[in-house]
């Protein structure tokens, strides 16, 4: 009896303790949130641009939620761009200092930040950049600065872009685990690594032309920022003319080599401060809190901006996954809101489920009957990403956007070889002729392959018809640009796959023009779960996250990336409208 009484008392005590801790934590978070809302910035300050977290187009933070952003691992591109816009007219901010290594953003996202910084410079305020080492994307961002400084023993990587594709044909043969592949489109090479040990000429051609177009876009921006011709920049890259700090300075890639204390002295000099005066600065993540309270666009009429980011998978979706549930809910809500006069769909996706893509496409078609729909493409709007974009009234892409990839494929795992090696035999029993149509333990039959191929061909024809209708071209014309071929934003504009080159603000401005709006506010969708809800979910999944981090640490980042790619392909279900390869720009 005493044991039971003590046990109940202990349980009750634990519950009380947990409740107290939880309440204290909530109060602390609320206080922290209120403190952050009152970020104090001294006069004559510098905004420090340190992009040290992964950047996503949109995090869905809710300013009312005290947990908003506290547990967020990524930074929102929309908030970064807004902060730079606010800083342009902020009397307390005199300039920006870019201090960044290994920017965790896509090329189009980096270009968008760079454009915002170009606009900031029009205020007459300065931008300086400093780093211990510059990777190519970091240098591309830094090249917008008035002055670029590098640590005297630092490194600058400037050699051109490259892409690497891994092939698994031999691995399949040795392991007995293979992928059965059905595809349409000679450029649909997402499945090529499972069919061959080397790159096809078609795939090599499209990758070469794609990264060349991206590189040329980067060079044009760097050329303006550094006053070096693109021809000379290519010579510098070919000769590795920035491989030492002396060479980097001599070639004009940087202005000087300085230690960090010397760089701070430069900032003091620019701000007319004495040697012992404090250098006032504010970190970007703190300034975002202040800038979020500054509304730059106001009006009773609204333009809805709907963010569709991540892989396209059947289901509800979330911050990193495009599902028909959360996206269509946002589209319908914006469509039925009388104050919303136009919709901008921001697409950043390598594609995924063809079915889900078509479901979202349909909702956009219904919406166009009531109000304009404009698409703004981010880093990628490829395959399924282009599928959901092609029906819009107008499409904007960044020059470095990766788009197109109009093609479909299907993959089905098969372990016949492995089962035979380890002595496993599977027998099937069914009621009808086709009730047992496929087993991963048996070779794929010709009948099943033919039926699967029919599904792929039907999905391709449907995809092609959506493109032809949306772009007002013939099926033959759409097919000539399709076959799974991937294009840069620049090339897509030439082909007519997109209407204009521009960023999200350009798309919003076009939406306002099409709706005859001079004054308008912005409403962002979708609304994700609160910070507290995400915290509790993350807390519950902490064990799995720790396991992932442990595996990544043990096998290395590159090997872990390969495992994730292989796992992703194995988990794909149904016909896929997906990027034809995993592109990692180096």
Decide: 242 and 253 in contact? Cβ < 8 Å.
yes
Q: What pLDDT, on the 0 to 100 scale, is given for residue 544?
A: 47
Q: How far is CA 370 from CA 30, 287, 331, 337, in A?
A: 41, 38, 12, 11
Mean pLDDT of all residues in 49-68: 75
Q: What pLDDT, on the 0 to 100 scale, is given for residue 192?
A: 82
Q: What pLDDT, on the 0 to 100 scale, is given for residue 582?
A: 56
* Whether residue 295 has a cis bond before it, omega within 30° of 0: no
Q: How far is CA 60 from CA 168, 315, 497, in A?
A: 38, 19, 29
Where is 331: in which H helix or E strand? Answer: helix 324-336
Q: What pLDDT, on the 0 to 100 scale, is given for residue 140?
A: 97
Q: For the range 360-363, what are the long-range contacts, defined as Cβ-Cβ under 8 Å and sequence gap of 24 or more?
A: 360/308, 360/312, 360/322, 360/324, 360/327, 360/328, 360/331, 360/388, 361/387, 361/388, 361/390, 361/391, 361/466, 363/324, 363/327, 363/328, 363/331, 363/332
* pTM, 2 dp: 0.85
Percent pLDDT > 90 in the chain is 59
Domains and CATH numbers, the chain: 39-159+240-292 (3.90.226.10), 302-408+445-578 (3.90.226.10)
Tell me the C-alpha distance between 445 and 428, whole Å: 14
Question: In the numeric block, which tokens belong to residue 69?
Answer: 């952003």
Mean pLDDT of all residues in 130-155: 96
pLDDT class of 391 with cuts at 50, 70, 90 = very high
Decide: 384 and 352 in contact? Cβ < 8 Å.
yes
Higher-scoring residue by pLDDT: 159, 547:
159
Q: What pLDDT, on the 0 to 100 scale, is given for residue 436?
A: 78
Does residue 154 register a pLDDT over 60?
yes
Where is 127: in which H helix or E strand? Answer: strand 126-134
Residue 508, strand partner residues:
none
Decide: 131 and 142 in contact? Cβ < 8 Å.
yes
Does residue 29 register a pLDDT over 60?
no
Q: What pLDDT, on the 0 to 100 scale, is given for residue 362?
A: 98
- Lowest mean pLDDT of 287-296, 325-334, 488-497, name the range: 287-296
Q: Which residue has the tokens 């980067």?
A: 218
Of the candidates 383, 405, 459, 515, the residue annotated as catalytic is 383
Does residue 315 register a pLDDT over 70?
yes
- Lowest mean pLDDT of 15-24, 252-261, 431-440, 449-458, name the range: 15-24
Tens digits of residue pLDDT in 460-497? 999 999 999 999 999 999 999 988 889 999 999 999 99
Burial class (CB in 10 A: 0-12, 13-18, 19+), 535: middle
pLDDT class of 172 with cuts at 50, 70, 90 = confident
pLDDT class of 569 with cuts at 50, 70, 90 = low
How is residue 74 annotated by DSSP? S
Where is 112: in which H helix or E strand? Answer: helix 107-121
Mean pLDDT of all residues in 162-184: 85
Does residue 322 register a pLDDT over 70?
yes
Active site residue 383: yes
3-state secondary structure of 297: coil
What burial letters (b/e) apply to 235-266, b meaning 16+ CB within 10 Å? ebbeeebbeebebbbebbbbbebbeeeebbeb
Q: What pLDDT, on the 0 to 100 scale, is given for residue 34?
A: 45
pLDDT class of 577 with cuts at 50, 70, 90 = low
Higher-scoring residue by pLDDT: 543, 123:
123
Q: How far is CA 449 from CA 443, 445, 582, in A?
A: 10, 6, 26
Residue 499 has φ and ψ, to the nearest 5°, of -90, -40
Burial class (CB in 10 A: 0-12, 13-18, 19+), 377: buried
Q: What pLDDT, on the 0 to 100 scale, is given for residue 74?
A: 83
CA geometry: angle 571, 200, 212, nearest 5 deg:
95
Of the candidates 188, 371, 394, 493, the residue annotated as catalytic is 188
Tell me the C-alpha distance between 531 and 65, whole Å: 7
Active site residue 188: yes
3-state secondary structure of 470: helix
Q: What pLDDT, on the 0 to 100 scale, is given for residue 31?
A: 46
Decide: 393 and 586 in contact? Cβ < 8 Å.
no
- On average, the pLDDT of the chain sits at 85
Tell me the C-alpha distance between 10 and 251, whole Å: 72
Tens digits of residue pLDDT in 177-198? 888 888 775 655 667 888 888 8
Decide: 442 and 416 in contact? Cβ < 8 Å.
yes
């Amino acid at each position: 009896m005493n044991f039971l009484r003590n046990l109940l008392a202990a349980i009750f005590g634990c519950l009380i303790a947990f409740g107290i801790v939880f309440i204290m934590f909530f109060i602390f978070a609320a206080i922290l949130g209120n403190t952050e809302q009152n970020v104090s910035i001294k006069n004559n300050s510098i905004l420090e641009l340190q992009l040290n977290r992964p950047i996503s187009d949109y995090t869905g933070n809710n300013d009312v939620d005290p947990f908003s952003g506290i547990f967020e691992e990524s930074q929102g591109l929309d908030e970064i761009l807004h902060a730079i816009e606010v800083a342009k007219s902020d009397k307390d901010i005199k300039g920006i200092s870019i201090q960044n290594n290994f920017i965790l953003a896509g090329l189009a996202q980096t270009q968008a930040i760079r454009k915002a910084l170009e606009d900031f410079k029009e205020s007459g305020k300065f931008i300086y950049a400093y780093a211990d080492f510059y990777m190519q994307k970091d240098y591309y961002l830094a090249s917008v600065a008035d002055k670029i400084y590098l640590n005297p023993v630092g490194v600058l990587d400037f050699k051109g872009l490259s892409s690497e594709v891994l092939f698994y044909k031999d691995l399949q043969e040795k392991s007995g685990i293979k992928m059965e592949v059905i595809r349409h489109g000679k450029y649909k090479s997402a499945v090529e690594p499972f069919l061959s040990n080397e790159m096809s000429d078609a795939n090599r051609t499209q990758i070469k032309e794609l990264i060349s177009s991206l590189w040329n876009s980067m060079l044009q921006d760097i050329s303006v920022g550094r006053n070096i011709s693109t021809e000379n920049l290519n010579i510098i890259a070919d000769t590795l003319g920035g491989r030492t700090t002396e060479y980097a300075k001599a070639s004009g890639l940087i202005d000087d080599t300085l230690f960090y204390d010397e760089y701070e002295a430069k900032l003091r000099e620019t701000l007319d401060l004495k040697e012992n005066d404090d250098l006032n600065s504010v970190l970007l993540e703190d300034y975002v809190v202040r800038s979020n309270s500054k509304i730059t666009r106001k009006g009773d009429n609204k333009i809805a901006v709907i963010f569709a980011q991540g892989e396209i998978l059947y289901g509800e979706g979330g911050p990193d996954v495009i599902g028909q549930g959360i996206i269509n809910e946002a589209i319908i809500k914006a469509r039925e809101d009388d104050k919303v006069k136009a919709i901008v769909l921001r697409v950043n996706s390598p594609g995924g489920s063809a079915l889900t893509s078509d479901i979202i496409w349909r909702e956009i078609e219904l919406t166009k009957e009531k109000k304009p729909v404009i698409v703004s493409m981010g880093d990628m709007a490829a395959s399924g990403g282009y599928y959901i974009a092609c029906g819009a009234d107008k499409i904007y892409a960044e020059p470095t956007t990766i788009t197109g990839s109009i093609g479909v494929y299907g993959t089905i795992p098969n372990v016949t070889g492995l089962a035979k090696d380890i002595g496993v035999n599977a027998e099937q029993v069914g009621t009808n002729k086709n009730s047992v149509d496929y087993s991963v333990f048996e070779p794929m039959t010709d009948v099943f392959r033919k039926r699967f191929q029919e599904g792929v061909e039907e999905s391709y024809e449907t995809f092609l018809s959506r493109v032809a209708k949306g772009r007002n071209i013939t099926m033959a014309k759409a097919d000539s640009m399709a076959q799974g071929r991937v294009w840069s934003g620049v090339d897509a504009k030439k082909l007519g796959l997109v209407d204009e080159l521009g960023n999200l603000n350009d798309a919003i401005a076009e939406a306002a023009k099409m709706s005859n709006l001079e004054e308008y506010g912005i409403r962002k969708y979708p609304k994700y779960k609160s910070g507290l809800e995400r915290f509790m979910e993350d807390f519950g999944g902490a064990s799995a996250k720790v396991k992932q981090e442990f595996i990544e640490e043990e096998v290395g980042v590159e090997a872990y990336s390969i495992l994730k790619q292989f796992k992703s392909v194995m988990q794909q279900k149904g016909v896929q409208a997906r990027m034809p390869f995993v592109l990692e720009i180096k």
